[in-house]
Structure formats: structure tokens, C-alpha cells
Amino acid sequence: MSTSVRPEPKPGVMDIAAYVPGRESAPCATKVWKLSSNESPLGPSPAAVEAISKAMGHLELYPDGSATKLRNAIAETHGLNPANILCSNGSDELLGLLAQTYIKPGDEAIFTEHGFLVYRIQTLAAGGTPVVVKEDKERADVDAILAAVTEKTRIVFLANPNNPTGTYIPVDEVRRLQAGLPKTALLVLDAAYAEYVRRNDYESGIELVSSSENVVMTRTFSKIHGMAALRIGWMYAPAHVVDAVNRVRGPFNVNALAIEAGAAAIRDKAHVERAVAYNETWSAWLVEELGKLGLRVTPSVGNFLLIHFPENGGKSAADADAFLGTRGYVLRRVVPYGFPNALRLTVGPEEANRGVVAALKEFMES
């Protein structure tokens, strides 16, 4: 059928390598621990679950198209103006909306070599050209980003902290980046893991959004709030960006159950604190135990660790992945992120953390 005339996708679309989510299953194991998607071992706030059961009585009604209840709850919790908040069906949707709103064919978007894969996908889907810049020791390099700016640059995507490295850049570096960008380029600070970071020199981006016209911060309920299934994201942005994206988004992009559950979840500060404390304890434990096995781990401020494996001796990341699979531990391979010989491990339930370390010990000693 090679001669047939048929609808063809626009330029860029067939260059996209479709996003592959973390695997859910392992081949031979009976009990499977999914540690591949940075999901919260604590699950959602009980208040969120209760809010959903109340909302289930009215599935025939369209949701509030501007998600007012959710925006107000977010605004109250973070001390923001609700008019500067826009909610979405997961923050992935927002990344796409921003690309659709600001990138036209021929325009460029910059991100770093180990940056989140969705930036490339959404740039190509908008017809734009991805511009990939080198990192410095697995960390975003502000000078390299600024050196890549041209008059075609429309967006700079920066995950801070980044996935899959878990590294971050301090607030003065983010400020230096913003100050060096042309006023016509939008700086998108993807702060999906902001709540986990306990460093004095870190800021999620709220200050910078408030004090400039070309910065937006995106956030998610999928990680610390343990609600990935519901798909809730939001951005804090200057009024002109909110206005533009509101014209492009679907009119009911956030569903009614998500609005109710999200509003309840963000008010449950105790649950968030529990998740942060749990992560601190177990990520420190995992770093120490993995170090004892002689494995290099990139210093992470998120709820996941990037583990590097020896190049040879049958101890590669692919070998480890296969071995762990037989024991029921599913980690994330990160080849498309430029790490052919590393695996990303999500901090999981206690039993899984202990078990995956024991399995890795067995693997390294085998």
C-alpha cells in the first residue's frame, strides 16, 4: 500500500518517540513491587478519598470549567492569587498546552540532555525544534542554556528538581537564568517534586513568577499527594499567560472528582508532611545501603534515586533490571534519558525498600 494517498501527520509528529510509562509487572514473580513511576507509597489523603465518594452522586453533571474550588484551595494553601492559577489534567497536559500556545513551526524550545522526556514530545508535537544542551555533572547548566538561546527561542523547560536525575539548581541560579533570557522567551519551571526538597537554597519558582512576566511554575498532585490516577496539575503564571492558555485548553479539562479530591488533598497539610518525612527517612536509608553495595547514586532531592551500574562483568543496568524482575522489583530503565547504564528507583513501602536492597545485594554478589 506504499503508493496510497492518505492523511499524513504534520511535520514533527512522526519524529516523536512515544512516551513509555513505567512497567507495572515483572515476568516471573508472584508479588510485584512497582518502583518505576515515582508514585507515593503513602497513597492519597483520606480526606481526598472521602471527597470523591461524596462527589460520585452527580456524575451526570459537567464539572466547573474553571475548577474554582480547586484553584481557591491551592491559592489559600500557597498564599497566591487564584486568578494566576490554572488547573489541568495532570501537569503533562499543561506542558503540552504551553507548547501549543507559544511554539509555532520553526521555533525552538531548550531543555537539558537528561531533562524530562515530555519536553521533547510536546515541542515536536507543536512543530517546534528541540534544542538539547549539555548538563554539568548531571545537573542543569545555566551558562549552557543561555548559550543556546537564539531569536527563535520561545520556551526553556527546566525541571527543578529534575527527573530522572533528582538534582536541582539553587534559586540564585534560576534567577540568573531568568535574567539572561530574552523577555520574549518563557521559562517553564516544572516543580513536580518541589515538596520533597528540604534545602535552604531551593525555591519552587513562586517568587520568580510573581516578579516577572515570562516565568511559569507547574505543579502536580501525582507525586507528594499520591493521586496520579486522578490526573491533576496546575500552574502559577502571570495573568497574560493564564489568559492565553485558557483559550487553548479544553473547556472541562479537569474532571469533577479531581476538583473535589484535589481541594481536599491540598488542605491536608499533615498528610503532605508525613509523606515528606517518610521520604527523607527512606531515601537516606537507600542511599546508604546502595553505597555499601558499591553502586554510585546521583545525589537526589526527590522521591527517587538514579543508580549507576558497572559497565562490564555482567553487572550492567540491563542485567540488574532482568534480575530484579525475577524477584518482583520493577525499576525504571532510563535509556531514552541518556542513561544506558542506570536504573531509577522510586522510594517505596518499607518492605519493598528492604527487599530491593537485598535483591541488589544478591545481584552484585552473584
Ligand X SMILES: *Cc1c(COP(=O)(O)O)cnc(C)c1O
**What gap in Å lies between CA 322 and CA 99, rounded to an integer?**
37
Q: Please state the closest distance from residue 226 (CB atom) to ligand X, in A.
A: 11
What secondary structure letter does DSSP report for 223?
Answer: S
At its nearest, how many Å lie between ligand X and the CB of residue 203? 17
Q: 63 or 355, CB closer to ligand X?
A: 63
Report, in Å, the least distance between residue 263 CB and ligand X.
16
Nearer to ligand X, 181 or 194 (CB): 194
SS (H, E, C) 155-210: EEEEECCCCCCCCCCCHHHHHHHHHHCCCCCEEEEECCCHHHCCCCCCCCCHHHHH
Considering the complex, state which of residue 304 and residue 309 has its C-beta at the smaller distance from ligand X.
304
Nearer Cβ to ligand X (91/167): 91
Residue 93 C-alpha cell reads as: 497536559
What burial class does residue 361 get, using C-beta atoms within 10 Å of its C-beta: 0-12 exposed, 13-18 middle, 19+ buried? Answer: middle
Compute the least distance from the CB of residue 292 to ligand X, in Å: 28
Per DSSP, the three-state class of 134 is coil
Residue 222 or 253 having the CB closest to ligand X? 222
> Helices then strands (H, E): number in the chain?
12, 13
Q: How far is the CB of 313 from ligand X (least distance, A)?
A: 32
- Rounded to a whole number of angstroms, the minimum distance from the CB of residue 317 to ligand X is 19
> Up-side HSE of residue 233: CA atoms within 13 Å toward CB?
20
Closest CB to ligand X belongs to which residue?
90
Rg (CA), the chain: 21
Burial tier of 200 (Cβ tally within 10 Å: 0-12, 13-18, 19+): exposed
Nearer to ligand X, 163 or 214 (CB): 163
Are 227 and 265 in contact, with CB atoms under 8 Å apart?
yes
Place of cell 516565568: 215
CA–CA gap between residue 299 and residue 167 (Å, rounded): 6
Alpha-carbon distance of 272 to 196, in angstroms, equals: 9
User: Which lies closer to ligand X via its Cβ, residue 38 or residue 298?
Assistant: 38
Beta carbon of residue 327, minimum distance to ligand X (angstroms, whole number): 25
- Residue 223 beta carbon to ligand X: minimum distance, rounded to whole angstroms: 6
Nearest Cα to Cα of residue 192 among 229, 150, 163: 163
Where do contacts with ligand X occur on this chain (CB under 6 A)?
A: 38, 90-92, 116, 159, 163, 190, 192, 220, 222-223, 228, 233
Q: Which CB, 267 or 332, lies closer to ligand X?
A: 332
